[in-house]
Amino acid sequence: MSARVVDKQPKKGGKGEESLELVTWMGRPPDKPTNCPAGLEYLTTLDKLRISQTYGPEGPVCNFENNDYVIKNGRGQQVYFASEETNCFCRQCCGPARAFHMRLYDKLSREVLHLVRPARCDACCCPCCLMTVTVKTGDGETLGYVKQKWNIFHGILEVQDADKKPWYHIRGPACPCRCFSNMEYKILSLEEDKKAVGSIAKRWGGPQDKYNMDHENFEIEFPFEVDVRMKAVLLGACFLVNYMYFEMS
């Protein structure tokens, strides 16, 4: 039995009704590179992704709903969709610091990435309990880690490969703002010059976006030539940045 292509996705309408929204998917690259985990071949031709939380016209209905996201390329074509898995108790008690499993699927509904985040304390005065996320393939192969580095002034994350070798640092502003402005986190090389090689940016939807207080829209730019595994880990870093600094429920 062949896999079914997802060309429409549910979208909540008014009064709790659901409609179907047409999805334009990115075409699969003609040549899959060798030793590339299934589903990550799309990342070989990309240096930018856009991540948006999905809401219906009525916005978030309650604080018991897990978050869903769409991941698109720079041309607006969908690459993946993501769904958070969190139990209700952890969501209510831990809020944005909650543990979760985030599963990313391709257009054939195959799980291609699995993000695992344990519950952590979100206070800067607790350097022994820092934020982290593990990025795996849908088959369970570990691709890398994103770990918070203790710093009382700036948000700093370290991006590591599967062997826990550091590749990048991600540095954010001292006082991130959830709304009314764009916020940028620079992806820095580990060379002496600490050159910026990419960024993770939160985009404010403007005053016309009535859900801007808790409606995530991110853009992530990474080096085009870097291995797809590290692109996937940087994608996981974007979700961690969201939950650390911008998620409110």
Total count of domains within the chain: 1
CA R_g for the chain: 18
Percentage above 90 pLDDT, the chain? 53
DSSP H helices in the chain: 88-94, 228-245
Which tokens hold the place of 151?
A: 């710093």
- Look at residue 30 and tell me if it is in a domain: no
Asked whether the beta carbons of 120 and 131 are under 8 A apart, the reply is yes
In this prediction, residue 224 has a pLDDT band, given cuts at 50, 70 and 90, of very high
- Look at residue 7 and tell me if it is in a domain: no
CA gap 194, 106 in Å, rounded: 34
Domain of 118: which CATH number? 3.20.90
Is residue 124 predicted with pLDDT exceeding 70? no
**How does the average pLDDT of the chain come out, rounded?**
83
pLDDT tens, position by position, 47-59:
999 999 986 544 4
**pLDDT greater at residue 216 or residue 118:** 118
Residue 92, CB-side half-sphere exposure with 13 Å CA sphere: 5
DSSP state letter for 75: T
Tokens 């207080």 sit on residue = 213
Burial class (CB in 10 A: 0-12, 13-18, 19+), 242: buried
In this prediction, residue 96 has a pLDDT band, given cuts at 50, 70 and 90, of confident
CA gap 218, 183 in Å, rounded: 9
Please state the rounded mean pLDDT for residues 57-75.
Answer: 75
- Look at residue 10 and tell me if it is in a domain: no
CA gap 63, 248 in Å, rounded: 10
Q: Which domain, by its residues, includes 220?
A: 47-56+63-245
Please state the rounded mean pLDDT for residues 133-151.
Answer: 94
- Look at residue 68 and tell me if it is in a domain: yes
